[in-house]
Amino acid sequence: MYAVFRKELADHISSMRFIILFLLVFLSAMFAIYIAIQTIRSVVGPTTEFIFLKLFTTSGENLPSFLFFLSLFIPIVGIALGFDAVNSERSSGNLSRLMSQPIYRDSVINGKFIAGLTVLGIMILGVVLIVAGLGLRIVGVPPNGEEVVRVLAFVAVSIVYGGFWMALAVLFSVFFKRTATSMLASLAVWIFFFFFLTVIVGAVANAVAPVDANSSIEMIVRNATLEGSLARISPCTLYGEAIVALLTPEVGSVNPTLLVLSSYSGRMANPLPLMDSLLLIWPQVVTIIALCAICFGTSYIRFMREEVRSI
C-alpha cells in the first residue's frame, strides 16, 4: 500500500490539478483575510475574547468569511482529488496491469485515499497557517493556547469533512466507468446538499409547522427543530455546525431549538469552555466519519467483486 500511496502523492503534487486547486484556495484565503482585517475592528470590543479566532469568522457586509470560503472549497477539493481514482486507471488500461501485481485490491483504494487525504491536509493546514500568520502580523494579537487548540481541531474536522467528499467521489469512481460521469455525480450530490437542501428543508418545515408573525413560541420552536433535524442529513450542515461551535465559543449550542430560544431571550451567552465545545461537536464529527465509512465500505464491496477487464 505504501508504494501506491507514494506514487499517488507524487502524482497529486506534481499535477496541474493540485496547482489550480491550491491557487483557488489560496486566493480565497487572501480575499477572506483582507475582509477580516477590514472589518475586524468593528466587531471587536474591549471585552471580546478570542480575537484571534475572529480572523477566521469575521465577514464583511455582504462579503463572506474565511469559514464560508473554506466550507465551499473543501468539498470541491475533496471531489477533485477523488473523482477519477479508480475509473481513470481503468480507462487508461492501467487497472488490469495494477491488479495483476501481488497487492490486495483494497490497498489500491486505501493508498489513493490516504494520498488524497494527505494532499487535502497539506492544503488546509497551509491555508490556515497562511491566514493565521498574516493575521498575526497585521492584527498583532497572538493566539492563546485555547485558540491554538481550537484552530487545530478546526483543521482536523475540515480534513475529515474533505475526506467524506473524497470518499464519495472515490465511490462514484468505482461505480461509473467514465471520469466525467463520476465527477458530475459527485458535484451533483454536493450541489444538492449545499444549495438545495436548505430550501427543501425550510419548505418542509413550514408545511408541517407553519409560522408567521403571530405564531406562538411553541410553533416557532417546532419549526426550527424540524428544520434543524432535517438539515442534519446533510454533511454540509454537520460541518457548518461543528466549525461554528469550534471557532465561535460564544455560540453555546448547535441545537437549533436552543439557538432560536436564545435569540428570543436576547441572552448573551458566555463563551463555552474548550472541552464543552469539543463535546458539543462530537456527534457531528462522528456522523461525518460514519458517512465516510459508508462510502468507503460500499466502494470496497463493489471493487472487490468486480471483474477487471482491460477494455
Using CB under 8 A, list all residues that contact another protein: 3-4, 6-7, 11, 14, 92-94, 96-104, 307-311
d(CA 214, CA 196): 28
Shortest approach of another protein to residue 114 CB, angstroms?
A: 16
Cβ–Cβ contacts within 10 Å for residue 309, how many?
A: 8
Nearer to another protein, 98 or 211 (CB): 98
Query: Is the Cβ of residue 104 or residue 282 nearer to another protein in the bound state?
Result: 104
- Categorise residue 153: left if φ over 0, alpha if ψ from -120 to 50, beta otherwise: alpha
Give 93 or 273: the residue with its C-beta nearer to another protein.
93
CB 183 within 8 A of CB 88: no
Question: Looking at beta carbons only, is 144 or 310 nearer to another protein?
Answer: 310
**What secondary structure letter does DSSP report for 254?**
-
> Toward another protein, which CB reaches closer, 16 or 275?
16
Cα separation, 10 vs 63, in Å, equals 36
- Alpha-carbon distance of 237 to 122, in angstroms, equals 24
Q: How far is the CB of 25 from another protein (least distance, A)?
A: 23
| SS3 call for 260 | helix
As measured in angstroms, the least distance from the Cβ of 2 to another protein is 8
Task: Please identify, using beta-carbon distances, which residue of 107 and 215 lies nearer to another protein.
Answer: 107
CA-based nearest residue to 187, from 165, 206, 159, 205: 165
Could you tell me the smallest distance in angstroms from the CB atom of residue 306 to another protein?
Answer: 8
Nearer to another protein, 137 or 309 (CB): 309
Cell of 99: 491488479
Other residues' Cβ atoms within 10 Å of the Cβ of residue 306: 15
**Residue with Cβ nearer another protein (52 or 83):** 83
DSSP assignment string, 142-163? ---HHHHHHHHHHHHHHHHHHH
The least CB distance from residue 238 to another protein, in Å, is 37
- Output the nine-digit C-alpha cell for 265: 431571550
Single out the residue of 206, 224, 178 nearest to residue 83, CA to CA: 178
CB of 122 to another protein, least distance (A): 20
Note whether 194 and 236 are within 8 A (CB).
Answer: yes
Q: Nearest approach, Cβ of 106 to another protein (angstroms)?
A: 12
**Least distance from another protein to the Cβ atom of residue 303, Å:** 12
In the block, cell 460521469 appears at 181
